[in-house]
Homo-oligomer: A and B are copies of this chain.
Amino acid sequence: MTPVSPSPAATVALRPLDGARLADGFWARRAVTNRAAIPVGYDRLAKVGSIANLRIAAGSQAGEAAGQSFRDSDVYKWLEAVAWEHGRDPDPALLAWLREFGGTLAAAQRKDGYLNSAIQICGEEPYAALWMSHEHYCAGHLFQAAVAAARATGETGLLEVATRFGDHLADTFGPGADLRPELDGHPVVEMGLVELYRQTGERRYLDLARHFVDARGHGWAAKSGFDPSHYGDPAHYSDRVPVREASTVEGHAVRAIYFAAGATDVAIETGDAELLAAVRRQYDAMRRGKQHVTGAVGSRWDGEAFGEAYELPPDRAYAETCAAIGAMQWAWRLLLATGEPQYADQIELLLYNAVLPGVSLTDADYFYVNTLHRRTGARGDLERSPAHGRRPWFNCACCPPNVMRTLASLPAYLATGTADGLQVHQYAPASLRAGEFAVDVDTAYPWDGQVTVTVREAPPREVELALRVPDWAQGSTLDGRPVPAGAYARVRRVFRAGEQVSLDLPMPARLLVADDRVDATRGCVAVARGPLVYTIEQPDQPDGAVLEDLRIDPSAPLHPEHRSDLLDGVTVLHAEGAVLEPAGSPYRAYGAPAPRTRPAALTLVPYYAWANRGPHPMRVWIPTI
């Protein structure tokens, strides 16, 4: 019951675990909040007309199409959330939604398998402007939702619609002379087709995904009449360089990452080592020069895009919530493919510090853009500006249902396993089972690094328990013995029910500096503790402090304090620093006196929890005194 389920023939190092359940704890609380957000999401999808669009296409309601061409995909992502949530915590109301929409979509679907409410209601020709119409994009999200429903509930109504659409795509697109050569401007259908292949065994879906992966990068966008005054660079569509030759990620971040994740799926399922090496190289380039300290990606508002290497401005970080979700999906596929802990480290970083900040703690309010610095006096100038604070929905509403489906499927990311053992990648109170080997994990993570694994059931033979020691966890021990950071600590033996393994991951506060080529954070530190990146936010600072005037003393120790009364329970960090006195002219001679300072105390909170007390000034990167 996981979002990625490699076929038996796939070349993977690890296999997803069906039997993971969250117990109480940090993520279980977030899952409960997310469960409550799902019916709210239905109401918001209904309010903006996204649900009506499908019903109009189905003939069960009258009206005109509302919103952008890709609104169907918002409903599909929400349906995927409904499916995973039913699997996580069954509920007849969730099942009823899946059945209802299975019927609506079947009624809306054309006889030839095509389905897109915007095109059908408006009577437009399918695929006439595929570079911007998102028709394949919507199909990809339908496939993911249908596969989720089948895996999590056994319901196949959506899957039947999906396979008819998949067959239609395979009959229509491809390299053959009688097939259409165009590509969708926004990838995601690649992941969707591979999942559909995994669920149905139908090889043509995988073949079509592979075609879409390799056809990109040969200038199709330029041939498809896209508007050069808008986003005229083929990189915007991941179409500048063939994926096998690309050395980095570029252009529209979500498109690039969804595409790379889809290419990774194809590489896994076809055993394509060259393709796998290419996407690993691209992930590494992203990690080295195009990833914010929170794990978030995307540096430019224009084009919702990656910047150049080392272009990582905290204040104008685009850091779209969907891009972080996509990066997590990509990292998960690379983890399965390689078994390397760096990808599990990435998932931890992304989940806590780039995905979770995208949703409020107690309400279903969202960030589309996740800034790392909101200046004093900042005002929003676009609907998606984080300066407005969190919002219930967006005109372009990709992010909210993406958060819903991600948090609903969270148990899938905790561990992998086979008959030979279990690999625990993320720490949370949970029960995990791989065949006859079942364990309970207990921890106060992310506030404390003590993790206790209790064996509940074990086979009468040697199996291996592998526990990830995060790359930040220097000085860790497993049952008292030192274990290196950035690796799996492994115990291989005949386990017995009731016995315990104890992992201790020390969590001193850490000060981080960026690569010297990152211009935007020079002279600053970021603060992290355990898996969490911290930030200073206005409400926690001295009265009247202007955040731009605060400086941190990097030589002074930071003191943690757990505050159960604050922000749904967080560990805050207390730091020493200073406040700048006001300055005069904007540019002064080098060597002229810097503004004077006076001592000040700073308090840091986890970044994910910011903007839950209103849209206050905030900054992750803090200048040093």
Q: Residue among A251, A316, A525 with the most chain B CB within 10 A? A: A316
Contact of A586 among B231, B380, B515 (CB under 8 A): B515
A314-B519, A519-B621, A623-B522 known; A291+B229 contact, CB < 8 A? no
List, in ascending order, chain B residues with CB within 8 A of A293's CB.
Answer: 587
A92 within 8 A of B: no
B-facing residues in A495-528 (Cβ within 8 Å): 510-526
B309 contacts A315, C-beta separation under 8 Å: no
Indicate if A180 sits at the interface (CB-CB under 8 A).
no
Q: Name the contact of A233 in the complex, choosing from B235, B236, B380 (C-beta under 8 A).
A: B380
A377 located at the interface, meaning its Cβ lies under 8 Å from any Cβ of chain B in the complex: yes
Q: A177 contacts the other chain (Cβ, under 8 Å)?
A: no
On whether the beta carbons of A590 and B235 are closer than 8 Å, the reply is no
Q: Are B517 and A520 in contact (CB under 8 A)?
A: no
CA distance A316 to B315 in the complex (A): 12
**Which B residue's beta carbon lies closest to that of A583?**
B515
Give the complex CA separation of A520 and B289 in angstroms.
17
Question: Interface stretch among A9-17, A187-195, A296-304?
Answer: A296-304
A74 to B511 Cα, complex, angstroms = 53
Main secondary structure of the interface of A (DSSP, over half): loop
Q: Give CA–CA (A588, B592) in the complex, Å.
A: 31
- Give the interface centre of A303, A511, A523, A585 by most chain B CB atoms within 10 Å: A523
Q: With A and B bound together, what is the CA distance between A289 and B585 in angstroms?
A: 9
Task: Note all chain B residues with C-beta closer than 8 A to A522.
Answer: 522-524, 623
Q: A300-B316, A316-B316, A522-B623 are in contact. Are A586 and B291 (CB under 8 A)?
A: yes
Question: Would you call A198 an interface residue if the criterion is a C-beta within 8 Å of the partner chain's C-beta atoms?
Answer: no
A516's partner among B307, B377, B594 (CB-CB below 8 A) is: B594
Contact among B229, B236, B250, B510 with A383 in the assembled complex (CB-CB below 8 Å): B229
In the complex, the answer to whether B520 meets A520 with C-beta atoms within 8 Å is yes
Judged by a CB distance under 8 angstroms, whether A563 is at the interface is no
Say whether A512 contacts B589, CB under 8 Å: yes
Residues of B within 8 A of A291 (CB): 586
How many angstroms from the CA of A585 to the CA of B345 in the assembled complex? 14
A395 beta carbon closer than 8 Å to chain B: yes
Of the residues B313, B315, B587, contact of A515 by C-beta under 8 Å: B587
Contact B516 A590 (CB under 8 A): no
Question: Is A18 in the interface zone, CB < 8 Å from B?
Answer: no
**Is the pair B587, A512 in contact by a Cβ cutoff of 8 Å?**
yes
Docked-complex contact B580 and A516, CB < 8 angstroms: yes
CB <8 Å contact, A375 and B232: no
Q: Which residues of chain A (202-233) have a CB below 8 Å from chain B?
A: 228-229, 231-233
Q: Which of B382, B515, B589 contacts A231 (CB 8 A)?
A: B382
Interface status of A379 (Cβ within 8 A of chain B): yes
In the complex, A340 has a CB within 8 A of chain B: no
Contact (Cβ within 8 A) A382 B302: yes
**B377 lies within 8 A of A309 (CB):** yes
Chain B residues with Cβ below 8 Å from A311 are 315-316, 375
Q: A464: CB under 8 A from chain B?
A: no
**A378 interface neighbour in B228, B308, B592, Cβ under 8 Å:** B308
Q: Check: A305 CB closer than 8 A to any chain B CB.
A: yes
- Could you tell me the distance in whole angstroms from the C-beta of A609 to the nearest C-beta in chain B? 21
CA distance A315 to B307 in the complex (A): 10
Q: How far is the CA of A583 from the CA of B288 in the complex (A)?
A: 10
Q: If A303-B381, A375-B308, A580-B517 touch, does A590 touch B288 (CB 8 Å cutoff)?
A: no
- Complex CA gap A594/B300 in Å reads 27
A176 at the interface (CB under 8 A from B): no
Give the residues from 276 to 329 in chain A that come closer than 8 angstroms, CB to CB, to chain B. Answer: 287-289, 291, 293, 300-303, 305, 307-311, 313-316
Instruction: Decide: B288 and A510 in contact? CB cutoff 8 A.
Output: no
- Determine if A123 is an interface residue (Cβ-Cβ < 8 Å): no
Interfacial residues of chain A within 425-439, with CB under 8 A of chain B in the complex: none
- Is A595 in the interface zone, CB < 8 Å from B? yes
**Residues on the B chain within 8 Å of A549, using CB:** 517
The one of B232, B305, B382 that contacts A303, using a Cβ cutoff of 8 Å: B382
In the complex, chain B residues whose CB is within 8 Å of the CB of A251: 381
Please list 16 pairs of residues, one from A and one from B, whose beta carbons are closer than 8 Å in the complex, sorted by A's number. Answer: A232-B383, A233-B380, A250-B379, A300-B316, A303-B381, A307-B316, A311-B315, A311-B316, A313-B316, A512-B590, A514-B586, A515-B583, A515-B586, A516-B583, A522-B523, A526-B587
A residues with a Cβ closer than 8 A to B are 228-229, 231-233, 235-236, 250-251, 287-289, 291, 293, 300-303, 305, 307-311, 313-316, 373, 375, 377-383, 395-396, 510-526, 548-549, 554, 580, 583, 585-592, 594-595, 621, 623
- Which 10 residue pairs of A and B lie closest in terms of their CB atoms, listed nearest first? A511-B590, A522-B523, A301-B302, A233-B381, A229-B395, A308-B375, A517-B548, A523-B523, A512-B587, A522-B522
